[in-house]
Structure 1
Amino acid sequence: MNIIGYRAQAKVLDTNINSITSEMFNTYSTLFSKNADQLSALLIERDFNFVSRAKEMLQVENSLYIFACKIDDVPVYIDSQNQNIVTLSYDSEYGINLPTVLDNNTIKNLFKNPEVYEDIMHIVGLDGILESSIQLKKETLNNLQIDWKNNNE
């Protein structure tokens, strides 16, 4: 293969990749717009637990930003109030983490990694985060019942 052959193949592949990530972005945008108010409401629910696809508790920063994933050791968050994907940087002057909004092209590039897309959609799609939270509650109840029974026999 030479550079001309590479460019010809890469152009076709890049076009297909960009087409798919654009569709993924459109799906993400539609669901995020539809579910943002409900996600914001969940942030103030006292007993709601944000649970990842890996069944781990997700961190919520400043009561606003839901941890979604890490990209090169940089935490990425969902900002449901403003319908953005953000990173956070600590501002020593204000003493808080301030968001940096990721632009649409950056988000599309993130979506080239299917795991990142699935982690983000688990949250903004709402079904995943709700089902995971219910599953955690069921497991907690089951464990408590077993422990209670074992300790009171």
Structure 2
Amino acid sequence: METIIVYVDDADYAQLLLQTAVQAPQASQAHWVLVGCAPRITHRVSRFVSNRSRENWRNKWAERLFQDCVPVLQAHGAQVTTVLARGPLPELLQTLQAQYGAQSQVVDMRRPKLQTPDAAAPAVPSPLHKLAGTLAGIGALWTVLIGETLAA
């Protein structure tokens, strides 16, 4: 039996992908291992939350995620196992491949993080912007000089 390891972090996004993936001819005979990848808690928030509270939140989050994703696969007769990622994914993948076989197929169905071009690279002013700034500065200087000349 083929094993398919799937990384999931958003139920709505993953349901669409799972519905198309389970349509494949051999997908219903495969063993699906859903790995829930919980969102990271920022450093600022984690200072005020205990480890126990963080684990409770992660478990509830995973329960809701799996409640939405597992029925999609089970409706087609697939065997499903759920795993919650509690550490780095490469280490978890090694553990899962040791458990289910090294030939397991790995699919990443996590929602892609959108990056805007402005956030990815710092804005560098173009020569045209530098010219516009220079001309504006010269215009302001002329205005001040002419204003003082006329006032005198």
**What range is the shorter-chain TM-score in?**
under 0.3
Q: Which has the higher contact order (CA 8 A, sep 6+)?
A: 2
User: Which is richer in strand?
Assistant: 1
TM-score by length of 2: 0.23
